[in-house]
Structure formats: structure tokens, C-alpha cells
Structure 1
Amino acid sequence: MTTVSVPQLAWYGDTELELEFPDSWDVTVCKHKGFDAPPLDDAGFRKAFANPIGTPTIREMARGKKEVCILFDDMSRATPSADIVPYVLEELAAAGIKDDQIRFIAAIGAHGSMTAIDFTKKLGRDVMSRFRVYNHNPYENCTSVGPSSQGIPMQFNAEMMMCDLKIGIGSIVPHPFSGFGGGSKIILPGVASITTIDLNHTRLAPDPTVGIGKYEGNILKADMNEAARMAGLDVKIDCIFNLNRKVTHLFVGDVLEEHVEGVKVAREYWATDMVKGCDIVVANAFSKANEMLLTLPVATPLLKSTGGDLVILCVTPEGQINHYWSRSFGKNLGGRAFKPKTSLPENTKRLTVMQPYPDFVGADWVAPYEMVNFTRDWGETLKQLKEIYGDKARVAVIPDATVQYFPAQVAA
């Protein structure tokens, strides 16, 4: 048997799942180009903070400030914020900022709220014992700052808007709307109202400039950038991480300028060579296991055009994230963007969702329930595949289909 290891259980131990395949099968592991990048050491972190892109250092910007807000992303992002926060706090302390001047706000956008367990995993016990940590509420307490040039009404978290120093922490990975995540997404959708999120997404997402890996000229991303300026975000910290969720690259500075530099690296780092005509595609959902629908546009183009087996590995105890904008909230009810699925994904004859932790309702994000084949472990999954393909199959394994992308597909 041929054994392939893929990462699993982000935030729940970060272990590996071993997948066995018959030796007679043609198995390609689609690793991204930066898969073996080493993690940054302390000197690397300090170099990034000492040499910000397009701004003074945080300690310089913080001098004389009265109220500080630190935004961070939620559990649907693999950003190891707890590894970054101590450097931010060190910068603020050097400027004379006291603990009671600082608050943290989870930039959850339209996702469900985080718990103290989540906050502790994301920020560390020290932060939870010293600082106020809040969830953003997209339905309440949002301050209007006027429309963007696209006519989108801009409304942002009121607590953040009352602060005179605003800092964001995130990561840069490919994204189906903004081209690449990170940067200004910490503001929109991160701490925007549901109205702002909805109109930005529904009005601008259909534009042909929008899509995974599409960055320059992306009209939706440009609106997010304008939102960050209107909100007055002072500093953004964006990392690139490996599949052990360790920081490999770090960019600190102006929200637009640091992101441009970060995307230059991320575009190559997350790029993966295309494999076509597969009988089976095994799409592992790791970094964003609670948003398994993100695997679909990455994985389905690899299947043969006549159709094949798509297997999504979804190993997460928390299930699929609550998404007030796009998830279901009843058999035929859902958020503003909810549309019941009526068919299997493109090129897919059979969709298998391997869920060791059952989450039946979460499947409606990818296909109608009755069209989903649920399994609980790899042994069961492989047995079913062998019943169809016997001793011969062309297989692609994507170690993390929630953050990798295929530039050849973007160009097409």
C-alpha cells in the first residue's frame, strides 16, 4: 500500500491523518510550492516589526494614543495569532500603553460568535487573563461612515471606531472572492455590518474580476481596501503559515502596502501544479475545515470531465461554521445569500464527505443531503472506492484544499 499523510484537526491537536492507497493506483500528492518553508524564528518576527512597510513602527504610532483596538480573525482561519500577539503587546508597552487601554475584537464578519475556549486557543491564556476580548456583532452597534465609491454603505464596529489606534492581525491565503485573504478583509467583512457585508458580496462578487487568485483589478477587493481606509485601520499584520500552522513569513505595516508585498509571496507559496483527468480527488479540509465548501472550486476541476469521485476529508469536532449570511437556518430557510443546493458539484459523479465527527446539517453547504455519501473513517472510504475502481485509478490528493490553489485554473 502507498501511504500519504495529510494534516488534520487544526486547533484540536494538529495531528496527521494517514491515507493508504493500493500500490497499483496512480496517486499524485498535490503539494503547494511552499510546503517545506521553515518557520520564522524570534529574530524573523522582530525584523518584521522593526521594519514595517509604509508606516512607522507600532511603538512610534502608539505614543500618545488613548484607546487601542486589536482585531483578529476567528477559528475558520488558521492564523496562529497567539504567536504574533506578544510582539504587538511588546510594541505597545514600549509606547507606554497600559493594559486597560487595549481591547481585542474578534473580526468574525457574519460568522458565529467565538467562545472563551476559542479565544484562548486563538490568543493564549495570558491575553484572556489580562484584556477585554469581544466578539463583533454584525447586527448591532455599527457606526456608519458613508458610502464607498461603489455605493456600498460602510458601517463598522462601533467599539473599534472609538479607538485612536487600530491594529489588525490575519493571514494571507487564496480566497474565492478577494483573490487572496488577509489585508483589508479584517475590516470588511471582519468588523462590518451585515448590510455592508451583504451588499459588498452580492453586488460585486459576480464581476469577472473576482475569483480565487485574482488580485489586481479585483473590484470586490478594491471595495474592501476602501473600507479599511474609511475605517481608519492604522496597522495590519499578515502572516503566511505552513501546514503545521507556524508562521513562515510576516508582513507588518500599511494595510494596503504590506498586503501587496505579502501577496507577491503568497501567490507563489500557495501555488500548486495542476493535475487533470482524475478518477478520484481527495480534498483535505484542514486550515478551514469548518468551511469545507471552499474545497469545491479547487478540487472539482481536477476530476475528469465525464465525472469522478470527489472525497472531502472534513475532520473537525466543531462541524461547519455558523454563517449568518450564507448558511441554512431551516429546511428551506437561510441567510441572505442562502440558496439550497440542487445538484452535485461540477464533474462529480459521487460526493463522499468523510466526517469522523458527524455534522449532517453541514453537508447542505456542498450538495443536497440525499446526494452526499457520508463515511466516518478512511478505511470505510477506501473500501467503497476500491469497489468501484478495483486495481486501477488515477488519484489526486490535495493536502489542504481550503488554502491551496491552481494558477493554471485561474488563467483558464
Structure 2
Amino acid sequence: MAETRVQIPTKVWYGDTETTLSFPEEWDVQECRMAGHDSPPLSDDEIRSALEDTYDSSSLSELARGKHQVVILFDDLTRPAPTSRILPFVLETLADAGIPDDHIRFVGAYANHAAMSREDFAKKLGEDVMRRFRVYNHNPYEHHVDLGTTSRGTPILVNREVMSCDMKIGIGGLIPHMGAGFGGGAKMVFPGVMSIESVAHNHGQVRPQPRNAQTGMLGIVDGNVLREDIEEAVSKVGLDMKIDLLINNRRELVGVFAGHFIAQHRAGVARAREQYATACPENMDIVVCNTYPIENQATKGVWPARLSLKAGGTAVVVTQSIEGQALHYLTGRFGTDYGG
């Protein structure tokens, strides 16, 4: 039987392979790719340049001069950022500034998600980092420094190890977010390395009313009170440099935005809107949504389906998450009748 075949990427962090989907030949199949599907990856020189050509901030090399203790914050495997690709250039810059390896540590900034294993750390950071540096999970339940509250009453309770350092660097990505509009920017610190009490207040009492019944605050940054509260808190914590990454369909690094956590975020969001823009046809009988590269948060695959599906249509969400749905202590389910 003749078929229409579509190749899709799958198994993020577990080989990043491809799967073939087959459809009846008589079906009118539309493949909706993001605009930056085949964007070329950055060269080494382009990455180095991005770390020097920063937004509303001194360059990384200038900021590192005279610093003594450095923490590098990173996200977990629920985020597709290829952190290991840019780390050699960050570490090279810190070494050139005279900062020895034993004055640098890594702290996983994934808020209320599950702790990462050594294997997880290696996937995100690379084996060289695991051999040379101390790498820690964030503990959202204890060992925090109290910096007061935001103007909206959110307690600013920050990871003690992070606050012990006189240089704080965050490396993450820019993907649309239902609450904060886009990930990236200040979110590496808040919720990344905050107490669960801080996150619960920000995500609960401060959380804005959704602008759209289907997609919430997805893509909305300006006037977003949740993000405003986050950025106010992080201004008190201090984040010397934030580095956000953009990717193509193969998770290759195609964009780097470094600098002050607000200025670089807004510049990155403007580019991300173009890079990740995907035309969504309407009134489709069937919508097949591939959740790569965030397969371990597969519910996010439902968002585009809502935009394209006709009433009474069928949505198919494709995910090959080896470890299942990512754990979230604030919003997850921990029994038949109760959750976080």
C-alpha cells in the first residue's frame, strides 16, 4: 500500500534519533516545521564573539576579572539547551581571568523538579566538566538565604551555595512558557534556585490571569506580572551574566544571547519568535504533535493541537520519553487524589 511518510526527531537526550510516521496516501498531510528548522549551527568563533558582544553588560571576560568564587547555573533535561556546546568557551574565559577550577562550581537550577543523576549531569554538561568540577543539585526545601520579599509579597529565599559566590552565571534556553511567556532570562534564578515557598507564592498568588483560554500566557512577556515578580526578585539576588541559547530541529546551537538577564532575554525572545515560529493550519481532522525536544513534559504537545484541531477532531501526541513524565514537586501528582 502506498503511504505518505514523515520523518520526525525523537528520544531527546537518549540518542536523538528519528522515527518514521506513515499515513495513507489519500490523506492530505501537511508537515508544519518551525521557521528555523534547518538553521546552520554557530561556529566556535561565532560563539566566542557572542560572549564578548553582550546586551547591557560588560563582556564575560571583563566581568570575571577579580572574581574569587564562581557558580554556573544550568537547567535540567526538561529543557533542550545544548549547554555542553558553550561551556568550553565559558570555562576558557574564566581560566584566562585567573579563576582556578576549584573556585568554580555548578548548581542545577531546576526549581521543584527531581534531582539529576550523574548520568544526567554528563548529558547536559559533558564528561570533562564532571571530571574537573563540583556539580550539585538544588535543594528547594532547605539551606536558603532570606533576602526579604518582592513588592508583591513573594519571599526571596535563595540557595545558600549560590549566594556564597561573588560571580553568578546562568546558562539556559529560550522556549515558550505558559506562565512566564518565554523561559530564559531571570527564570534561571527564580524559580531555578529558590525555595519551594518562593515558587509557590509566585506561581500561585502572583500568577496572571490567562490571556488566552487555550494557551494561557504563552509568548506574552510584556505586562506579565509573573515575570515582573521574578525579575524584581532576581535584581535583589544578583545574576552577573545570563546566557540563553537557541536551537534548530537537531538541537544544534544556532543563537547565543548573553548579558544582563533582562536585556539579553528580550533580545533573545525577539529572535526566538522568528526561529520557532510555526504556521498552524486550522480545522484539521487529525493533528499529530511531536513533543521532541521536550518529550518528558509531553503535555506541552497539546498546545499546538488545540490551535489546529477542528471540533470533534483527533489529536495524537507523539512522545518517546524513556523515563516518563518529569517530576514536579509543586504541580505533580503523588497519589490518586492529591498532588504537589
What's the TM-score, normalizing by structure 1? Answer: 0.79
SS in 2 for 1:189: coil
The CA RMSD over aligned residues, in Å, is 1.1
Moved more, 222-231 or 92-101: 222-231
Tell me the equivalent position of 1:166.
168
1:249 aligns with one of 247, 255, 264: 255
C-alpha contact 2:47 2:256 (8 A) present in aligned 1: yes
Q: How many residues align?
A: 334
C-alpha contact 2:200 2:330 (8 A) present in aligned 1: yes
C-alpha contact 1:142 1:193 (8 A) present in aligned 2: yes
C-alpha contact 2:185 2:244 (8 A) present in aligned 1: yes
- Structure 2: runs of 5 or more not aligned: none
Q: Deviations over 1:23-71 (max 9, x none)?
A: 1111111111111211101111011012111111212111111110000
Tell me the equivalent position of 1:63.
65
Tell me the equivalent position of 2:333.
328
Map 1:206-285; keep pairs closer than 5 Å: 206-208=208-210, 211-285=217-291
Map 1:56-135; keep pairs closer than 5 Å: 56-135=58-137
Matched, 1:296 2:302: yes
C-alpha contact 1:174 1:270 (8 A) present in aligned 2: no
Q: Which amino acid aligns with 1:13?
A: G
Deviation of the 1:279 alpha carbon: 1.3
Deviation of the 1:172 alpha carbon: 0.6
C-alpha contact 2:208 2:226 (8 A) present in aligned 1: no
Q: Which amino acid aligns with 2:126?
A: G
Moved more, 202-211 or 92-101: 202-211
Moved more, 52-61 or 174-183: 52-61
Map 1:141-156; keep pairs closer than 5 Å: 141-156=143-158
Q: Which amino acid aligns with 1:95?
A: A
C-alpha contact 2:4 2:22 (8 A) present in aligned 1: yes
Tell me the equivalent position of 1:33.
35
Q: Deviations over 1:130-178 (max 9, x none)?
A: 1000000111112111111211111111100111000000011111111
Moved more, 164-173 or 25-34: 25-34
Q: Which amino acid aligns with 1:238?
A: D
- Distance (whole Å) between structure 2 residues aligned to residue 18 and residue 216 of structure 1: 39
Deviation of the 1:114 alpha carbon: 0.1
- Distance (whole Å) between structure 2 residues aligned to residue 230 and residue 159 of structure 1: 16
Deviation of the 1:244 alpha carbon: 0.9
- Structure 1: runs of 5 or more not aligned: 336-412
Q: Which amino acid aligns with 1:255?
A: F
- Distance (whole Å) between structure 2 residues aligned to residue 171 and residue 252 of structure 1: 11
- Distance (whole Å) between structure 1 residues aligned to residue 131 and residue 34 of structure 2: 38
Q: Deviations over 1:359-383 (max 9, x none)?
A: xxxxxxxxxxxxxxxxxxxxxxxxx
C-alpha contact 2:280 2:304 (8 A) present in aligned 1: no
C-alpha contact 2:52 2:61 (8 A) present in aligned 1: no
Deviation of the 1:231 alpha carbon: 1.2
Q: Percent identity?
A: 46
SS in 1 for 2:172: strand
Dislocated runs of 4+, deviation >2 Å: 204-210
C-alpha contact 1:291 1:320 (8 A) present in aligned 2: yes
SS in 2 for 1:29: coil
C-alpha contact 2:70 2:105 (8 A) present in aligned 1: yes
Moved more, 246-255 or 203-212: 203-212
Tell me the equivalent position of 2:321.
316
C-alpha contact 1:207 1:219 (8 A) present in aligned 2: no
SS in 2 for 1:66: coil
Matched, 1:43 2:49: no
- Distance (whole Å) between structure 2 residues aligned to residue 268 and residue 214 of structure 1: 15
What's the TM-score, normalizing by structure 2? Answer: 0.96
Q: Which amino acid aligns with 1:216?
A: D
Q: Deviations over 1:250-281 (max 9, x none)?
A: 11111111111111101121111121111111
C-alpha contact 1:179 1:215 (8 A) present in aligned 2: yes
- Distance (whole Å) between structure 2 residues aligned to residue 251 and residue 206 of structure 1: 27
- Distance (whole Å) between structure 1 residues aligned to residue 36 and residue 151 of structure 2: 37
Q: Which amino acid aligns with 2:75?
A: D
C-alpha contact 1:35 1:243 (8 A) present in aligned 2: yes
